[in-house]
Each structure stands twice: as structure tokens, then as C-alpha cells.
Amino acid sequence: MILKVYTSLWLLFLVNSVWTRSVRQVYDDLDPDHWSHYTSECPQECFCPPSFPNALYCDNKGLKEIPPIPARIWYLYLQNNQIETLSEKPFMNATHLRWINLNKNKITNNGIESGVLSKLKRLLYLFLEDNELEEVPAPLPVGLEQLRLAKNKISKIPEGVFSHLENLTMLDLHQNSLLDSALQSDTFQGLNNLMQLNIAKNSLKKMPLSIPANTLQLFLDNNSIEVIPENYFSAIPKVTFLRLNYNKLSDDGIPPNGFNVSSILDLQLSHNQLTKIPPINAHLEHLHLDHNKIKSVNGTQICPVSIALEEDYGYYGNIPRLRYLRLDGNEIQPPIPLDIMICFRLLQAVVI
């Protein structure tokens, strides 16, 4: 399982590297004599760097409207303006857009012209953070790979809005106004390749329903979650990074083996209401339990394998892989119990 996770992450890195080299090759092949042509096409309000002819920089210009976008543009930067509307007219010729950054504007759902986003057929990255959206805009470009909607006022996710986004790998909805009722059993249906889902800083009291099965990173910090349902993680068997910091989890809200999941490598449960360390899996590498109500630690009890059995297997056996353990902000007094070190032989850092 761990090999598969690292392989997936390596493939993402490799694809991005190839993409970057391909784009740079295009720039290197440009004839400098054509730069004046690119400059003349550049909207007066924006900046068109000759060394980056597929990019248009209109950020931090005090714009209230989007200027006409030249046909050659792939990367469009419009962040930190006063833009309130998205209409079809500025994008009439922009049929090659891959990337749009509209963070920190004043865009509302009513200000988005119907169908304007879905007509951007080649768009891969859409950033709409820190705007005035009250629901996820729809319809969206079917080829999207990243959708960032953090720091809005989103309380509603329209039915089927994600159903055709099969290429989406990252969905960021953190710091919005989502309640449990906004996340139905079919809300994330269709996100077959999603790898990262961020719903931190919302108003959830329950674990969200029907997380896409391929999700690797699930961020749920700063909600009001009290209970982990039995066998919750069996539906997301690839989850590797799990963040539940700043919630209301207590010992009673965690099933006996709720976090004993072999896929999880990084588990963060800081700033909750736990009085003891929940059972963990031998594959876990990083465990954050700081600022709970834990009074003592018994290494023999929390060790995911028998210490005697561990001695028999030796270094190359199935010994626990925990490397980082954070326990500060609890009621634990040093020194670190010896049985912790006997169990977790690969520990590199313990904060207590």
C-alpha cells in the first residue's frame, strides 16, 4: 500500500516536470522579433512579459472588470483586484486558457454569467479563493484538475456539480460555511481521481459522507466533529494523510480500532478532548496528539504489535514504523516511558 501511495505521488511529480519542460521549450523557441507583437496585444491594464508570452499578469491593478484576453494566453493572473463579475465577453478569444487565478476579488454567484466557466474547455486550474461566493459555481469545465474555493461563504453545493469532473485531483473548500446538510451521499460522486480534499474550517459536526475512494489526503481541521463512525475508513482505503486537529473528539467518539488503518501514515488529532492514545497501526509514521487531556502513556498498551513478538522478528520484521510522536500540551510528565522506546524503535523525535 505504501509503495502504491509513493508511486502515485512520484507520477504526479514526473508529469508536472514533463509539463514544465514542454512549456519552457516553447518559450525557448520563440523568435525575439515577435515580442513586439505580443506586447501590442497586451491589455493596457496588464503586463505581458516577453519571456513568458503565454502569461498575462493583471494582478494588483485595482480592476473592476476583466479586460479582453488575447488568444495566446494560457496563464491568467487576476488576483487582488475588485472584480465582481465573470462574463463571456473577455474570454471570447481565450480558447487556450489552462490557469486562472481570481483569488481575492469580489465575485458573487450572481456575478458569474451562466455557462461562462464551462466554456473554458482547456482549463485545468481554477482559483477563486477569498471571494463572495455562497455556493460552488456551476457548471464547471470538465477537464479541471484543481479547484480552489477556500475563504468564501459557501454553504451550498449544487447537486451534481462535481459529477463530470473525473480529472479533478484537488478540491479545496476550507474556511467556508458548510454544514453537515450540505454534504449529501452523492455530493462528491464522479470525483474518481480526487487525491486531496480539504474541508477544514467549516461547521461540520459529522464526518462527511461518501468521500471519493482514491482520496489520499483528507483535511477536516477546525470543525466540530465528535464521532468517527465504525469502519469509516474502509470506504477510503488509500487515505494516507488525515488531519482532524481542533475538533471535539473524545475517547467515546472513536471506535476501538477507528484509526488502526494500514494506509494512514500521518495522523493529526491535536487540540481535541482525548484522555488516552487510540489504537494505531504499525504502518503509522507521524502521530500528533498534542493539546488533548492525556495524563499518562503506557507503551505496552499502545504498541500496535506485541513487544515480545517484536523481539522475535527483529529489525527487519513487522516492527512499528512510528518516527514522530507529539504529546505536548497534555498532562504527561517526563521522562518518556522506556516501553515507548522499546516498542517504537524507529522514533526520531518525541515532543512531550
Of the candidates 259, 272, 267, the one whose C-alpha atom is nearest the C-alpha of residue 288 is 267
In this model, does residue 16 exceed pLDDT 60? no
Of the candidates 150, 155, 173, 145, the one whose C-alpha atom is nearest the C-alpha of residue 19 is 145
Domains in the chain: how many in total?
1
Average pLDDT over every residue of 194-206? 98
pLDDT digits (tens, 9 = 90+) for 215-226: 999 999 999 999
246 within domain boundaries: yes
pLDDT digits (tens, 9 = 90+) for 78-87: 999 999 999 9
Report the pLDDT value the prediction gives residue 181, as an integer from 0 to 100. Answer: 96
Q: Which three cell numbers stand for residue 312?
A: 522475535
The parent domain of residue 262 ranges over 226-307+316-351
* Residue 312 binned pLDDT confidence (cut-offs 50, 70, 90): low
In this model, does residue 23 exceed pLDDT 60? no
Using only C-alpha atoms, what is the Rg of the chain? 24
Report the pLDDT value the prediction gives residue 308, as an integer from 0 to 100. Answer: 61
Measured CA distances, 60 to 30, 82, 93 (Å): 28, 9, 23
Lowest mean pLDDT among 37-46, 247-256, 290-299: 37-46
Report the pLDDT value the prediction gives residue 348, as an integer from 0 to 100. Answer: 95
Average pLDDT over every residue of 35-55? 81
275 within domain boundaries: yes
In this model, does residue 338 exceed pLDDT 70? yes
Of the candidates 156, 153, 125, the one whose C-alpha atom is nearest the C-alpha of residue 140 is 125
CA 113 to centroid of chain Cα atoms? 28
Stated pTM of the model? 0.87
Give 58 or 315, the one with higher predicted confidence: 58
In this model, does residue 316 exceed pLDDT 70? no
75 within domain boundaries: no
234 within domain boundaries: yes
Measured CA distances, 311 to 54, 260, 308, 319 (Å): 60, 22, 5, 9
Mean pLDDT of the chain: 89
245 within domain boundaries: yes
**CA angle at 286 for the pair 251 and 17, rounded to the nearest 5°:** 135
271 within domain boundaries: yes
Report the pLDDT value the prediction gives residue 333, as an integer from 0 to 100. Answer: 86
282 within domain boundaries: yes
Report the pLDDT value the prediction gives residue 14, as an integer from 0 to 100. Answer: 45
**β partners of residue 47:** 57
Measured CA distances, 108 to 58, 133, 183 (Å): 20, 5, 21
* Residue 310 binned pLDDT confidence (cut-offs 50, 70, 90): low
CB 119 within 8 A of CB 88: yes
Give 53's contacts (C-beta < 8 A, 6+ positions apart). Answer: 27, 30, 35, 38, 72
Report the pLDDT value the prediction gives residue 15, as an integer from 0 to 100. Answer: 41
Give 37's contacts (C-beta < 8 A, 6+ positions apart). Answer: none
Report the pLDDT value the prediction gives residue 309, as an integer from 0 to 100. Answer: 54
287 within domain boundaries: yes
pLDDT digits (tens, 9 = 90+) for 149-190: 999 999 999 999 999 999 999 999 999 999 999 999 999 999
Give 92 or 334, the one with higher predicted confidence: 92
CATH number of the domain within which 245 lies: 3.80.10.10
Q: Residue 310 phi/psi, 5° resolution?
A: -60, -40
Q: Which of the 8 DSSP states describes residue 30?
A: -
